[in-house]
Amino acid sequence: MNLYYGANLLIYAGVDIIACLALNLQFGVSGIVNFSFIVFQAVGAYTAAVLSMPNDKAFGYDFQLYVGGYQLPFPIPWIGGAVAGGLLAVPVGLVVLRKLRADYQAIALLVTSVIANTVITNARPFLNGAAGLALVPPPLADQIDPNTAPYQYFYVGLTILAVVLVLFVVNRVVNSPYGRSLRAMREREIAAMAIGKNPVRLKMTAFIVGGVIAGFSGALLVGFIQFWAPSVWLYPETIILFAAIIVGGRGNNVGAILGALLVPVGFEEVTRLLNNAPLGLPAGVVPALEWVAIGLLIMGFLWFRPDGVRPEPRRVFEGGPDIE
């Protein structure tokens, strides 16, 4: 296993863990079925890309068409990505989360995800359409050469820092009284309203905080892969993250991390092995079967172990009545 491969694996794992923590906050803790999660990651990635790239008339970049191009120094593009994720969550949340029933929210968000991808693909001058943005400058490329071993260590270090930061934030949210309100709303919205909680406000906050973290994960990823296009954020990508949360265990951060390592990272590795193995399958069959496996995994877990590998711990208060 060489260094570049190892770094690649660790950074993808970090991005998946961050994404799963954010989705767990929305889906696992608050009960919002955010089928357009990947759009928030994408908006963060695009924002970070256009903030760090030079203008689209600049030498070497003039084969693409995009808005912006400000060449801002690190860490502004990352902050911009996180802010963009949060900003996008405001209008989407206001349309979807206020009046609609939970299952309608889910389909509205799913449709949003499909349409957002269609629009970006077709509107080329905006973000270079289907071809996507290439040659996104990696952070601090002027200080350390990105094609060297130290840079790989540096980026892995940045990723670990990012994971720790996000984990700290979501742990604080989930374990705070505020997290308790979120769980109360998830369990029984009407009861939560009866004790004075405002579900729309709770959902909006969880949606925006999740959007910020999702945007941040996109910025982190695009800085490393230096490329972003509609084909990497099709709506099934969100389903992988849902599979991760369902497998890991809804509603707890340890489960989300476990799920991120088992599902997206695990599948990535299995594909690599299958592609290298001489099976003689025609191209495209392995990825297709992988999606089938993801579907089976979701259904299998919902059937046999709906609480996941690590179920959410029951929170019991000392001195409270015994419920069993």
Partner 1 sequence: MNLLVEAFGFGLVSMSVIAIAAVGFTMQFGITNNINLAYGEVMISSAYVAYYVNRAGISIWIGMVAGALFGAVFSFLLNRIVYSPFIRKGTSQIGMVIVSLAVSLMIANLLLPIVGYDYVSYQNSTGELIHIGSIILTTNQIGIMAVSVALMVLIHGLLKYTRLGKAMRATAANPTLARNCGIPTQRVIDAVWLITGALCGLAGVVAAMNSDSFAIVNGATFLITVLAAAVLGGAGQPYGAMIGAVLIGLITELSAAIWSPEYKEVVAFGVLVLVMVLRPQGLLARRGAMAAAG
Residues of this chain that interact with partner 1 (CB under 8 A) are 31, 33, 35, 95-96, 99-104, 106-108, 110-112, 114-115, 118-119, 122, 235-236, 239, 242, 246, 282, 284-285, 288-292, 294-296, 298-299, 302-303, 306
Structure tokens at 36: 């357009």
Provide the minimum distance between the beta carbon of 312 and partner 1 in the complex, in angstroms, as a whole number: 15
Provide the minimum distance between the beta carbon of 280 and partner 1 in the complex, in angstroms, as a whole number: 14
> CA angle at residue 53 from 51 to 59, to 5 degrees?
150
* Termini Cα distance of the chain: 50
On the question of a cis peptide bond just before residue 282, with omega within 30 degrees of 0, the verdict is no
Provide the minimum distance between the beta carbon of 291 and partner 1 in the complex, in angstroms, as a whole number: 4
DSSP class per residue in 1-50 = --HHHHHHHHHHHHHHHHHHHHHIIIIIIT----TTHHHHHHHHHHHHHH
Provide the minimum distance between the beta carbon of 136 and partner 1 in the complex, in angstroms, as a whole number: 26
What single-letter amino acid sits at 232?
Answer: V
Q: Which is nearer to partner 1, 65 or 114 (CB)?
A: 114
Provide the minimum distance between the beta carbon of 75 and partner 1 in the complex, in angstroms, as a whole number: 34
DSSP class per residue in 254-305 = HHHHHHHIIIIIHHHHHHHHHHHS---PPTTHHHHHHHHHHHHHHHHHHHH-
Phi/psi of residue 110, nearest 5 degrees: -60, -50
Provide the minimum distance between the beta carbon of 32 and partner 1 in the complex, in angstroms, as a whole number: 10
Q: Which is nearer to partner 1, 4 or 104 (CB)?
A: 104
Provide the minimum distance between the beta carbon of 135 and partner 1 in the complex, in angstroms, as a whole number: 27
Provide the minimum distance between the beta carbon of 113 and partner 1 in the complex, in angstroms, as a whole number: 10
Looking at residue 135, the DSSP 8-state letter turns out to be -
Provide the minimum distance between the beta carbon of 27 and partner 1 in the complex, in angstroms, as a whole number: 9
Distance CA 276, CA 5 (A): 15
Distance CA 306, CA 281 (A): 33
- Are 260 and 20 within 8 A, CB to CB? yes
Q: Which is nearer to partner 1, 103 or 318 (CB)?
A: 103
Q: Which is nearer to partner 1, 278 or 284 (CB)?
A: 284
Q: Which is nearer to partner 1, 107 or 277 (CB)?
A: 107
Q: Which is nearer to partner 1, 190 or 316 (CB)?
A: 190
Question: Is 261 exposed, middle or buried (CB count within 10 Å of its CB: 0-12, 13-18, 19+)?
Answer: middle
Q: Which is nearer to partner 1, 32 or 174 (CB)?
A: 32
**Which residues lie closer than 8 Å to 141 by C-beta, 6 or more apart?**
none
Q: Which is nearer to partner 1, 139 or 211 (CB)?
A: 211
DSSP class per residue in 194-216 = HTT--HHHHHHHHHHHHHHHHHH
Closest by Cα among 170, 195, 173 to 185: 195
